[in-house]
């Protein structure tokens, strides 16, 4: 099992992701420079939070053209696991690897706070260690996290069970109009989605920041652990086959 | 010699337009042995500006204590450095960006953060936290808003909005958590907000870098953003003069920040340093290329020669004058080891940054600048950096009448409310006061968690606490400063600023080890302002000496006046503390229902009633409820502050208590309320407190549980003999809202009471149980009568929504 964390020049959660993966859950992890076009040898790639190339234009709009993204597309198409967190999610949306787009937060302000997520699907490599309806306390920190897609896309997301996380109240109820629990105003309170093939996912909250209870929450670990477990299972299946 | 050729003849008049006096101009002529040309005049004018030369303050700053057990590097470098064990050092400094933040709040505040971050990573440290100490004019109408007009209030809201967005814009993108600070609102800051940014970084002790040029022939390398015409004379004309009606025209003097560029610069600098090829490095901040080159040369006892044609430029046709004075952001000047410059270039190019050799180190001690083959300036570097004018400016204590006139609002000392008055309505007003209300509207716009070290972020503890991934230890850091008190007594106000910051740090369980200061004052050419300044210096010096928090750096900001109205003198102190075990860090919120609430009070005596009224008249309560700013700050007892700090650190390290919160703005009642409000769980439900106070017991030391664990002899002295009122005559308002120092509230389980009392006794710190953490109504009884009572969640709502309500309408 080996994780890779992509380092765009403006990534600023790359070290945090490496810390959570390497030091907290104890899986091997490398930083991958954005100019790299080779992702062989990795089982899972994480696109971390930050400001990839400054993001003065539109979040992730430039990053999608970087060399590493060409390699990432091949990696994803061949079934590799890809998780985008915050800016990483925005980049995956820009790259068309995930459906939908990000609008500015409804308040038009940057927002950093703990939120609660409800796990909506557990038959994915990103949530298999969680149970359905589990509530995760994980922080957000973004200016553009107001998820949006058109009605047909939303229907498709629902039909294919691609909505992995919704912003929720601590008791698990979801109300998209409630600014307290859905602070950025996301459509249908969507916090994270995956692709149809279920090997590429993105979410705005930062699981790597919710990896140690001494810092407020360790609930984000279940996402990283799910990825490690599903890779291990896949490897075991390959060996026994 | 520099060519003067066809250039204009430099006259006294031109020098004056550059902010240089006749005496200073004559001195320049003497140093050069000739008239300066225009470029040289420009260079002198920025280097000898108040902002860069500290010409009015330097003779006084010498009085600050700068040495201590932990200090590795005191003032004089880009930032202070203190040893924190395990081979690590903390690098930290605070700096002002007041004037630019008034002229252009967003960019002014953003580049303030950018500037202080560069000071930290220039030394080889990775920034791990930023704090912002902010002062604004009133954003709410009401008694405490003084004479602020609706227009003024609306403009203040826009300034708050711009400053907060600017700080967030820069820090969030750069990737440093903004973990704390303060925001205080007073009428005197209406036309002169204060934006003081503190940055903290971590480095390995043996991998520090300094700004001292060495090695003849070593290449001088320019790295980072290209040079443009922005920010010319930012330091000399913007930061070193008062504001007038035309100040908005100075907007072009404000720099524009690019935090992405700074992030690249950070990573490239740290990586370049690891190659071992970097000899010296300094950022180009105020006075850009001029100060970085002159100061590196001067500190190293060397000269530097620069070929301006090689400087990366983003505009065409720039003159030597413009290039030397540009304050374009995100630029660095490095000296590399000759023959290894390629290593440095490679790193910067990897990060997509310009890095070119623009000159070399010489031995003649001169800053020599050439342009198109001609010498454009040639000045002894030491004269620029170290031989600037020093003024012993006239000092005069303002007369009482003078003080009255300059005050934004004044009044007679407060009359205390009659015994038995229900103080709940006033308590609610106080909770809504912008300086007391929750600041989450501001802090949520900052990324306070990036780098995953934030153990206690905004609102969680009295100071921010950052764990160190490389060590078991943690750092605590806090800024404080009470301008109103410093106005009423600059010396006392300054002492309180140190004491409060140190106390806040200690409440988290950290031992205060060092300090940094940002001294915000009016026009130093006014003897009354200079008096305030020297008094404040003496106050800071004395408090830092007693509390063993040496000053390791900082900044002086003068000329904080608009249309002749000075701000309150505002010394802001940043205190750094060290926690031996990050696991012992304590928050301020109550933790468990049923816990006992103790008041720690290290003070030895009470005051007469007149004295109580005088000090109460300087309180947040007097200002908010009565519109009164009068009297004097509470007397300070530094040994008592030290006692309290020692006691708090011991209580935390022995895990005897569950929370700790100091008493400051709004006194005991507000502190108790905050301990409840911050305890809110995920669903918003919070703990509450039931408090029973007896006026007479507030200054004696009853110990716990009928004196069983009575403190030592020193602490048991009750009231002082100097005409103290009888204990039961303490006014309820004074007891509940008075702001005397050296006090803190702690909560703990019943099982820990005896242990805590024993620790307090060991430190001779008075302690008494004043109540219990409960669920239900918040209630304070005083002398057997209910003085404050209210359901905790509506009270919390007042406190948490006040700022957002005012500012969302911006």
DSSP for A42-57, please give it: -SEEEE-SB-TT--SS
Q: Is B316 on the interface with A (CB under 8 A)?
A: no
User: How far does A181 lie from chain B, in Å, by closest CA?
Assistant: 10
**CB contact set of B690 (below 8 Å; sequence gap of 6+):** B771, B772, B774, B776, B779
Contact across the interface for A54 and B173, Cβ inside 8 Å: yes
User: How far does B797 lie from chain A, in Å, by closest CA?
Assistant: 14
Residue B87 CA to its chain's centroid (Å): 27
Q: Phi, psi at residue B547, to the nearest 5°? A: -85, 0
Predicted confidence (pLDDT) at residue B8 exceeds the cutoff of 90: no
- Supply the pLDDT for residue B398: 84
Largest distance between two CA atoms of chain A: 53
Separation of alpha carbons A99 and A111, rounded Å? 23
Nearest to A116 among B174, B267, B682 (CB): B682
Per CB-CB distance under 8 Å, the chain A contacts of B467 are 214-215
Cβ–Cβ < 8 Å for A98, A89: yes
- Supply the pLDDT for residue B173: 97
Q: Phi, psi at residue B797, to the nearest 5°? A: -60, -45
| Radius of gyration in angstroms for the set of CA atoms belonging to chain A, rounded to a whole number | 16
Contact across the interface for B683 and A53, Cβ inside 8 Å: no
User: How far does B597 lie from chain A, in Å, by closest CA?
Assistant: 24
CB-based burial of residue B246 (10 Å sphere; 0-12 exposed, 13-18 middle, 19+ buried)? exposed
What distances in angstroms separate CA B216 from CA B30, B250, B301, B338, one per listed residue?
A: 28, 41, 11, 9
- Supply the pLDDT for residue B34: 96
Place of tokens 């606490």: B465
- Supply the pLDDT for residue A37: 95
Residue B380 CA to its chain's centroid (Å): 34
- Supply the pLDDT for residue B335: 97
Contact across the interface for B173 and A214, Cβ inside 8 Å: no
User: How far does B171 lie from chain A, in Å, by closest CA?
Assistant: 11
Q: Is B444 on the interface with A (CB under 8 A)?
A: yes
* B295-304, B439-448, B610-619, B732-741: least confident range: B610-619
- Supply the pLDDT for residue B88: 98
Q: Phi, psi at residue B283, to the nearest 5°? A: -80, 160
Most confident of B244-253, B272-281, B323-332: B272-281
CATH of the domain at A155: 3.40.50.880
Cβ–Cβ < 8 Å for B486, B568: yes
pLDDT category of residue B249 using cuts at 50, 70 and 90: low
User: How far does B352 lie from chain A, in Å, by closest CA?
Assistant: 9
Per CB-CB distance under 8 Å, the chain A contacts of B453 are 215
Average pLDDT over residues B419-424: 94
pLDDT category of residue B699 using cuts at 50, 70 and 90: very low
Contact across the interface for A12 and B582, Cβ inside 8 Å: no
**Residue numbers of the domain that contains A135:** 3-240
Per CB-CB distance under 8 Å, the chain A contacts of B455 are 214-215
Q: Is A219 on the interface with B (CB under 8 A)?
A: no
Contact across the interface for B469 and A19, Cβ inside 8 Å: yes
**Residue numbers of the domain that contains B751:** 586-810
Please identify among residues 449-468 of chain B the ones whose CB lies closer than 8 Å to any CB of chain A.
449-455, 467
pLDDT tens profile B455-465 = 999 999 999 99
From start to end of B74-158, where are the E strands?
80-85, 88-96, 126-136
Per CB-CB distance under 8 Å, the chain B contacts of A10 are 173, 260, 263-264
Contact across the interface for B175 and A110, Cβ inside 8 Å: no
Average pLDDT over residues B37-43: 95
- Supply the pLDDT for residue B659: 98
Q: Is B538 on the interface with A (CB under 8 A)?
A: no
Separation of alpha carbons B541 and B66, rounded Å? 9
Helical packing angle, B38-47 and B288-300, nearest 10°: 70
Q: Among candidates B660, B676, B633, B687, which has minimal Cα distance to B746?
A: B660
pLDDT tens profile B513-564 = 999 999 999 999 999 999 999 999 999 999 999 999 999 999 999 999 988 8
Cβ–Cβ < 8 Å for A102, A146: yes
| Residue B777 token pair | 């109504």
B200 in any annotated domain: no
Nearest to B351 among A9, A139, A208 (CB): A9
Contact across the interface for A211 and B352, Cβ inside 8 Å: no
**CB contact set of A213 (below 8 Å; sequence gap of 6+):** none
pLDDT tens profile B135-181 = 999 998 877 787 889 999 999 999 999 999 999 999 999 999 999 99
DSSP B634-666: PP--HHHHHHHHHHHHHHHHTT--SEEEE--TT
Q: Is A31 on the interface with B (CB under 8 A)?
A: no
Place of tokens 């000759």: B338
| Residue B555 token pair | 């900044």
- Supply the pLDDT for residue B726: 41
- Supply the pLDDT for residue B806: 84
Predicted confidence (pLDDT) at residue B4 exceeds the cutoff of 50: no
Q: Is A1 on the interface with B (CB under 8 A)?
A: no
pLDDT category of residue B603 using cuts at 50, 70 and 90: confident
Chain A contact probe: residue of B110, B173, B257, B472 with most A CBs at under 10 A: B173
Predicted confidence (pLDDT) at residue B724 exceeds the cutoff of 80: no
CATH of the domain at B590: 3.90.650.10
Contact across the interface for B452 and A215, Cβ inside 8 Å: yes
Q: Among candidates B578, B579, B533, which has minimal Cα distance to B560?
A: B533
Cβ–Cβ < 8 Å for B535, B491: yes
DSSP B577-601: EEES-GGG---SS--STT-EEEEEE
Number of independent structural domains in chain B:
1
Predicted confidence (pLDDT) at residue B425 exceeds the cutoff of 60: yes
Q: Phi, psi at residue B95, to the nearest 5°? A: -145, 150
Average pLDDT over residues B355-384: 97
Chain B contact probe: residue of A5, A7, A12 with most B CBs at under 10 A: A12
Q: Is B23 on the interface with A (CB under 8 A)?
A: no
Q: Among candidates B484, B478, B520, which has minimal Cα distance to B498?
A: B478
CB-based burial of residue B252 (10 Å sphere; 0-12 exposed, 13-18 middle, 19+ buried)? middle
Size of interface A-B (CB pairs under 8 A): 93
Place of tokens 């149970």: A131
Separation of alpha carbons B460 and B789, rounded Å? 25
**Which residues of B are known to be catalytic?**
51, 97
Separation of alpha carbons B571 and B188, rounded Å? 15
Cβ–Cβ < 8 Å for B316, B329: no
| Residue B375 token pair | 């010498």
pLDDT category of residue B709 using cuts at 50, 70 and 90: very low
Separation of alpha carbons B411 and B418, rounded Å? 20
**Which residues of A are known to be catalytic?**
86, 206, 208
Q: What is the DSSP letter of B14?
A: H
| Residue B49 token pair | 């500006």
Number of independent structural domains in chain A:
1
- Supply the pLDDT for residue B478: 98
- Supply the pLDDT for residue A111: 98
| Residue B74 token pair | 């005191």
Q: Among candidates A13, A193, A19, A210, which has minimal Cα distance to A116?
A: A210
Cβ–Cβ < 8 Å for B159, B105: yes
Contact across the interface for B263 and A20, Cβ inside 8 Å: no
Average pLDDT over residues B104-127: 96
pLDDT category of residue B411 using cuts at 50, 70 and 90: low
Predicted confidence (pLDDT) at residue B700 exceeds the cutoff of 70: no
Q: Is A135 on the interface with B (CB under 8 A)?
A: no
ipTM value greater than 0.95: yes
Place of tokens 């490599």: A125
Place of tokens 């899986």: A27
User: How far does B701 lie from chain A, in Å, by closest CA?
Assistant: 36
Q: Among candidates A15, A9, A89, which has minimal Cα distance to B177?
A: A15
What distances in angstroms separate CA B135 from CA A156, B159, B230, one per listed residue?
A: 51, 10, 26
**Side-chain half-sphere CA neighbours of B726 within 13 A:** 2
Separation of alpha carbons A77 and B91, rounded Å? 46
Residues of chain A with pLDDT under 50: none
């Amino acid at each position: 099992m080996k994780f890779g964390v992509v380092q765009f020049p403006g990534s600023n959660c790359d070290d945090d992701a490496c810390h959570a993966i390497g030091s907290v859950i104890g899986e091997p992890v490398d930083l991958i420079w954005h100019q790299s076009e080779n992702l062989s040898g990795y089982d899972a790639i994480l696109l971390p939070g930050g400001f990839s190339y400054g993001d003065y234009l539109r979040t992730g709009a430039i990053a999608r053209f970087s060399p590493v993204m060409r390699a990432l597309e091949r990696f994803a198409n061949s079934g590799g696991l890809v998780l985008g967190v915050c800016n990483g999610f925005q980049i995956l949306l820009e790259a068309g690897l995930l459906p939908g787009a990000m609008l500015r937060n409804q308040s038009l302000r940057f927002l950093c706070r703990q939120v609660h997520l409800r796990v909506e699907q557990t038959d994915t490599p990103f949530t298999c260690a969680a149970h359905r309806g589990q509530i995760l306390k994980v922080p957000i920190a973004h200016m553009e996290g107001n998820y949006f897609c058109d009605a047909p896309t939303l229907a498709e997301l629902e039909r294919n069970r691609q909505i992995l996380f919704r912003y929720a109240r601590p008791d698990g109820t979801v109300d998209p109009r409630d600014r307290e629990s859905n602070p950025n105003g996301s459509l249908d309170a969507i916090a994270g989605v995956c692709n149809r093939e279920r090997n590429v996912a993105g979410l705005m909250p930062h699981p790597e920041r919710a990896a140690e209870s001494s810092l407020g929450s360790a609930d984000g670990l279940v996402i990283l652990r799910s990825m490690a477990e599903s890779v291990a299972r896949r490897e075991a299946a390959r060996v026994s086959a | 010699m520099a060519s003067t050729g066809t250039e204009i003849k430099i006259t006294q008049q031109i020098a004056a337009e550059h902010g240089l006096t006749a005496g200073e101009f004559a001195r320049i002529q003497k140093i050069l042995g000739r008239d300066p040309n225009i470029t040289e005049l420009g260079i002198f004018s920025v280097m000898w500006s108040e902002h860069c030369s500290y010409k009015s303050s330097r003779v006084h700053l010498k009085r600050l204590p700068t040495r201590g057990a932990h200090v590795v590097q005191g003032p004089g470098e880009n930032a202070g450095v203190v040893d924190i064990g395990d081979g690590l050092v903390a690098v930290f400094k605070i700096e002002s960006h007041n004037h630019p933040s008034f002229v252009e709040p967003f960019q002014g505040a953003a580049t303030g953060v950018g500037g202080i971050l560069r000071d930290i990573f220039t030394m080889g440290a990775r920034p791990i936290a930023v704090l912002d100490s902010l002062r604004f004019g009133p954003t709410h109408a009401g008694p405490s808003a003084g004479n602020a007009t609706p227009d003024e209030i609306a403009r203040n809201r826009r300034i708050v909005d711009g400053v907060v967005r600017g700080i967030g814009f820069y820090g969030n993108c750069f990737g440093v958590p903004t973990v704390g600070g303060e925001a205080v609102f007073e009428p005197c800051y209406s036309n002169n907000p204060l934006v003081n940014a503190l940055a903290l970084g971590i480095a390995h002790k043996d991998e520090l870098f300094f700004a001292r040029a060495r090695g003849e022939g070593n290449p001088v390398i320019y790295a980072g953003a290209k040079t443009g015409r922005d920010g010319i004379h930012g330091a000399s004309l913007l930061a070193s003069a008062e504001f007038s009606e035309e100040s908005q025209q100075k907007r072009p003097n404000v720099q524009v920040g690019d935090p992405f560029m700074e992030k690249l610069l950070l990573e490239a600098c740290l990586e370049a340093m690891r190659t071992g090829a970097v000899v010296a490095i300094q950022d180009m901040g105020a006075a850009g290329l001029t100060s970085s080159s002159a100061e590196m040369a001067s500190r190293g006892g060397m000269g530097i020669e620069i070929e301006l044609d090689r400087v990366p430029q983003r505009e065409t046709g720039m003159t030597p004058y413009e290039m030397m004075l540009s304050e374009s952001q995100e630029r660095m000047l490095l000296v590399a080891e000759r023959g290894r410059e390629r290593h440095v270039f490679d790193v910067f190019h990897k990060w997509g940054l310009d890095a070119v050799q623009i000159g070399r180190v010489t031995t003649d001690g001169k800053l020599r600048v050439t342009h198109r083959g001609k010498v454009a300036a040639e000045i002894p570097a030491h004269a620029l950096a170290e031989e600037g004018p020093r003024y012993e400016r006239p000092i005069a204590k303002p007369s009482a009448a003078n003080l009255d006139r300059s005050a934004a609002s004044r009044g007679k000392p407060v009359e205390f409310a009659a015994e038995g008055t229900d103080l709940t309505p006033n308590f609610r007003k106080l909770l809504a006061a912008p300086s007391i209300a929750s600041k989450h509207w501001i802090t949520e716009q900052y990324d306070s968690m990036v780098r995953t070290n934030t153990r206690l972020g905004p609102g969680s503890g009295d100071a921010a606490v950052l764990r160190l991934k490389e060590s078991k230890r943690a750092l605590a850091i806090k800024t404080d400063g009470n301008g109103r008190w410093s106005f009423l007594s600059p010396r006392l106000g300054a002492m309180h600023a140190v004491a409060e910051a140190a106390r806040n740090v200690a409440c988290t369980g950290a031992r205060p080890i060092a300090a940094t200061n940002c001294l915000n004052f009016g026009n130093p050419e006014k003897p009354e302002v200079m008096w305030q300044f020297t008094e404040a210096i003496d106050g800071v010096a004395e408090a830092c000496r007693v509390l063993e928090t040496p000053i390791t750096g900082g900044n002086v900001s003068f000329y904080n006046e608009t249309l002749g109205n000075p701000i309150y003198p505002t010394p802001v102190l940043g205190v750094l503390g060290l926690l031996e075990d990050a696991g012992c860090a304590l928050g301020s919120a109550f933790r468990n229902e049923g816990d006992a609430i103790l008041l720690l009070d290290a003070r030895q005596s009470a005051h007469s009633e007149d004295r109580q009224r005088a000090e109460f008249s300087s309180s947040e309560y007097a200002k908010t409820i009565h519109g009164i700013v009068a009297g004097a700050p509470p007397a300070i007892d530094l040994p008592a502050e030290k006692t309290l700090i020692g006691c708090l650190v011991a209580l935390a390290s022995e895990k005897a208590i569950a929370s700790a919160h100091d008493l400051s703005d709004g006194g005991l009642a507000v502190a108790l309320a905050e301990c409840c409000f911050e305890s809110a769980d995920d669903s918003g439900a919070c703990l509450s407190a039931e408090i029973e106070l007896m006026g007479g017991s507030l200054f004696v030391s009853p110990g716990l549980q009928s004196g069983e664990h009575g403190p030592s002899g020193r602490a048991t002295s009750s009231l002082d003999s100097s005409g103290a009122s009888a204990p039961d005559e303490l006014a309820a308002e004074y007891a509940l809202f008075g702001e005397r120092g050296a006090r803190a509230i702690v909560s703990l389980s019943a099982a820990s009471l005896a242990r805590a009392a024993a620790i307090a006794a060991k430190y001779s710190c008075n302690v008494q149980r004043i109540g219990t953490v409960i669920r239900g109504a918040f209630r304070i009884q005083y002398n057997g009568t209910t003085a404050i009572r209210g359901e905790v969640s509506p009270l919390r709502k007042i406190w948490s929504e006040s700022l957002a309500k005012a500012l969302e309408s911006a």
